[in-house]
Amino acid sequence: MNDIDSRPQDALRAELTELLPPPAVPEFAPERERELRRSLMAAARPARPAVWWTRKAVRFAVPAVVCGITAGAVLVAAPPEPRDPRPAVRAEGASAVLSRAALAAASAPAPDARPEAFVYVESLVSRAGRPAGGGAAVVEAAHRRQVWLSADGSRAGLLREEGAADEELSPRLPVYELEHRGAEPRQTFLEPEGPSVSAPTHTFVAGLPTDPEALLRLVREQTRAGGGDADQRAFTAIGTLLVETWAPPEVTAALFEAAARIPGVVTVPSARDAAGREGVAVARTSGGERTQWVFDRSTSAFLGERTVLMAASDAGPAGTVLSETAVLTKAAVARAGQLPG
């Protein structure tokens, strides 16, 4: 208190002004909000198809880690981003941002992907890495990433990323067995497990609970096997569904409302996705890394996500951007490799 009291009053007042949250956003009464949400969802019409990913797609969705091992690269720091002097505000602000995102999602077009179709998602991505032997950090420029996945999960999909060879995303994992020492390896396949939050199919995503509490319970149940922070596992899993799937409007709305119930979620006043689109973000920090979801400031549409170091580590100084994604297109096509429309 002595240090604070000794500061000049003008400087103290300026600091307190920066710490104040933005003015409260008027909210509907619960009954009116439910009525509005029902009206928005009833007005939604199927106009664009769905997108999601499978377990194989999850494996290839992080090539900076998985593919980098075979290429002799490891994750490393990018140059630190400029620090935003404005602090994150309290969790109540995150709830308001996510509630607006839920209302926007509820009025979005519903997915319309047939079981025999492929779903397609196009995004811009950026990651950081350096040679395993050391040397200067190499930061990828934002580049296009495209993925096609079988709507019913029964056929091989395709991952296409600038600067890398195409990768087949098979629903079955190859396994090589030896009958005895010196024998030729015999290839068999490990059949995929049933769909889950971590390995969703279109049918699975479309059938997710629309009650936020029930949805969050399901996410927690299906991510409990991971180590570390259980709340962060749930937040990360929901973020993955937002980036790599296109759920029905009422499910997407429930995902946002479920995330608002996770402890430790805050807002970041200004953040940019990999395409440079500026907006407001909700974020959660765990293990010295902050995961941010960026939303359009005016429409509350989900734009993408990013991961930023909040404390210095072997990966780099505080402020290092480890990854960025900007979601550009979600659609359905007849075959892997085909572009929409």
Paired sense of beta strands 143-150 and 138-139, if any: unpaired
In terms of Cα–Cα distance, which of 240, 255, 282 is closest to 96?
282
Amino acid sitting at position 167: E
Amino acid type, 158: L
CA 9 to mean position of chain CA atoms: 43
- Rounded Cα distance, 249 and 296, in Å: 17
User: pTM for this structure?
Assistant: 0.69
C-alpha–C-alpha distance, residues 206 and 63, integer Å: 28
* 3-class secondary structure, 125: strand
**How many CB atoms lie under 10 A from the CB of residue 34?**
11
Dmax (CA) for the chain in angstroms is: 82
pLDDT in tens, 151-171: 888 888 999 999 899 999 876
Spatial neighbors of 259 by CB under 8 A, at least 6 apart, are: 98, 235, 238, 265, 282, 293
Question: Residue range 33-62: average pLDDT?
Answer: 35
pLDDT tens track for 108-127: 988 888 888 888 999 999 98
- Has residue 311 got a pLDDT over 70? yes
Query: In the predicted model, is pLDDT for residue 256 greater than 50?
Result: yes
Provide Rg for the chain, Cα atoms: 22
Burial (CB < 10 A; 0-12, 13-18, 19+), residue 227, is: exposed
Give 134 or 28, the one with higher predicted confidence.
134
Quick one: average pLDDT of 124-133?
79
Q: Is residue 144 pLDDT above 50, yes or no?
A: yes
pLDDT score, position 234 = 97
Query: Can you give the pLDDT at residue 14?
Result: 52
Q: How far is CA 77 from CA 71, 74, 274, 307, 308, in A?
A: 18, 10, 16, 12, 10
What pLDDT, on the 0 to 100 scale, is given for residue 210? 97
